[in-house]
């Protein structure tokens, strides 16, 4: 008995020793993933996430001012200014939508700001009674940007008609107040989020340097993918009929009533995702991000590094998306090829970001907790 134990130990020991010596000779003392994760998280918190929230809030405030001007002097000039500021605020929102964790998650920013298509009959009912609670789940698709989009732009109505709806119409007061209430809710929520980040959450976020479910890195990567999935499905796939046997659903476009902006918003969404991936600040300086982490991990792809494959795919997807003409609600019927071309590249990007990248980072793409094997 004793003998065979010793033999076994010796045998395994020798094998492992030989192996290690051999390894040492060829590879030297290799490092994998030496990387300052908390510096990366600090870059995300200070240079990427908080500044984008602040900018989004400023854009929203600026729209609120223009809207107040419009309510004071109801004419088409003021309406058009308000609309322009609205689009700017909607665009700025695309740069915060992917940060739905911590304070944003608590405030349900994504769902409260941008559940589309909006429920026009629910909005009309709310306006006509003047008695509604925007906090109710039933009003999720009757508030935020999509509701304001509907009210400010209308469907095939002249600018003068829209102005009159806020001016001489029987429900003008209720209608005017409805947008103000939606705006108020959004401003309050963004204030709460920004205060949270500036007070305690930034510290919590930067200190959570692990890779487990609920870690900061895990949340960034999961939300990056959630947003990319939304780009693929909600912004493009669903209007283009990918989920309806090819029957196009133009009314499901984001910013459907404003027209001419759905592709722009999609492009901004993708731009934000690239910024997040690179750790790029709003001023355009490239800080520590997922790209640097993947390089530190020496992650490879079929040819070259995984980081290069992802960066390359971002640029292909961006250029294909740029070839889709506005308004998207028409293009889904008129230029299926352009849409499909962009769609395919977004899917490829999704696979890289949802499968390859998290796998080498040791991050689980799931919003659910459980034991592993």
Site residues (vs another protein, CB under 8 A): 1-2, 4-5, 8-9, 12, 16, 19-20, 23-24, 27, 29-35, 37-38, 209-213, 233, 237, 242-246, 297, 299-302, 306, 347, 350-352, 354-356, 358-373
Give least dist CB 16 to another protein, A.
Answer: 5
The rounded distance, in Å, linking the Cα atoms of 184 and 324 is 34
CB 313 within 8 A of CB 355: no
Taking the least distance from each CB to another protein, the nearer of 34 and 156 is 34
Strand-pair partners of 231: none
Taking the least distance from each CB to another protein, the nearer of 219 and 363 is 363
CB 249 within 8 A of CB 238: yes
Alpha-carbon torsion angle 69, 51, 229, 147, nearest 10: -10
Taking the least distance from each CB to another protein, the nearer of 66 and 299 is 299
Taking the least distance from each CB to another protein, the nearer of 23 and 129 is 23
Give least dist CB 21 to another protein, A.
Answer: 11
Give least dist CB 310 to another protein, A.
Answer: 12
Taking the least distance from each CB to another protein, the nearer of 118 and 346 is 346
CB 165 within 8 A of CB 159: no
Q: What is the DSSP letter of 325?
A: P
Taking the least distance from each CB to another protein, the nearer of 12 and 77 is 12
CB 235 within 8 A of CB 97: no
Asked if the bond preceding 327 is cis, omega within 30° of 0, the reply is: yes
Name every residue whose Cβ is closer than 8 Å to that of residue 64 and which is 6 or more positions away in sequence.
183, 187
The rounded distance, in Å, linking the Cα atoms of 89 and 85 is 6
Give least dist CB 301 to another protein, A.
Answer: 5
Name every residue whose Cβ is closer than 8 Å to that of residue 309 and which is 6 or more positions away in sequence.
301, 302, 303, 352, 356
Taking the least distance from each CB to another protein, the nearer of 127 and 361 is 361
- Residue 121: count of CB within 10 angstroms of its CB: 9
CB 134 within 8 A of CB 189: no
Give least dist CB 233 to another protein, A.
Answer: 7
How far does Cα 44 stand from its chain's mean position?
A: 15
Give least dist CB 288 to another protein, A.
Answer: 14
Taking the least distance from each CB to another protein, the nearer of 71 and 365 is 365
Give least dist CB 272 to another protein, A.
Answer: 21
Give least dist CB 214 to another protein, A.
Answer: 11
Taking the least distance from each CB to another protein, the nearer of 55 and 348 is 348
Give least dist CB 203 to another protein, A.
Answer: 15
Tell which residue, 46, 186, 53, has the closest CA to residue 111.
186
Name the 3-class secondary structure at 285.
coil
- Ordered alpha helix ranges (H), 135-201: 144-153, 159-167, 172-196
């Amino acid at each position: 008995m004793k003998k065979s134990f010793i033999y076994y130990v010796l045998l395994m020991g020798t094998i492992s020793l030989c192996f290690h010596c051999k390894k040492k000779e060829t590879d030297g003392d290799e490092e994998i993933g030496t990387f300052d994760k908390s510096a990366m998280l600090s870059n995300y918190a200070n240079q990427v996430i908080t500044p984008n929230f602040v900018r989004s809030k400023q854009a929203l405030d600026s729209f609120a001012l223009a809207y107040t001007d419009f309510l004071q002097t109801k004419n088409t000039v003021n309406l058009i200014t308000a609309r322009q500021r609205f689009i700017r605020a909607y665009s700025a929102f695309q740069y915060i939508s992917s940060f739905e964790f911590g304070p944003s998650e608590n405030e349900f920013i994504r769902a409260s700001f941008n559940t589309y298509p909006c429920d026009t009959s629910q909005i009309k009912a709310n306006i006509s009674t003047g008695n509604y609670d925007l906090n109710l789940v039933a009003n999720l698709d009757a508030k935020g940007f999509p509701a304001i989009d509907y009210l400010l732009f209308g469907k095939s109505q002249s600018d003068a008609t829209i102005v009159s709806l806020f001016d001489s119409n029987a429900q003008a007061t209720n209608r005017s107040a409805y947008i103000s209430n939606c705006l108020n809710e959004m401003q309050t929520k963004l204030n709460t989020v920004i205060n949270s980040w500036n007070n305690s959450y930034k510290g919590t976020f930067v200190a959570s340097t692990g890779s487990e479910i609920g870690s900061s890195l895990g949340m960034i990567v999961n939300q990056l993918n959630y947003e990319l999935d939304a780009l693929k499905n909600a912004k493009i796939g669903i209007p283009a009929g990918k989920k309806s046997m090819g029957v196009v659903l133009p009314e499901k476009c984001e910013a459907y009533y404003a027209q001419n902006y759905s592709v722009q918003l999609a492009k901004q969404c993708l731009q934000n995702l690239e910024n997040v991936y690179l750790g790029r600040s709003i001023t355009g300086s490239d800080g520590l991000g997922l790209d640097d982490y993947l390089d530190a991990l020496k992650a490879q792809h079929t040819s070259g590094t995984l980081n290069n494959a992802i960066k390359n795919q971002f640029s292909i997807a961006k250029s294909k998306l740029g070839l889709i003409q506005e308004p998207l609600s028409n293009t889904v019927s008129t230029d299926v090829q352009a849409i499909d071309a962009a769609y395919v590249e977004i899917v490829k990007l999704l696979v890289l970001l949802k499968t390859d990248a998290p796998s080498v980072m040791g991050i689980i793409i799931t919003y659910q907790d459980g034991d592993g094997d």
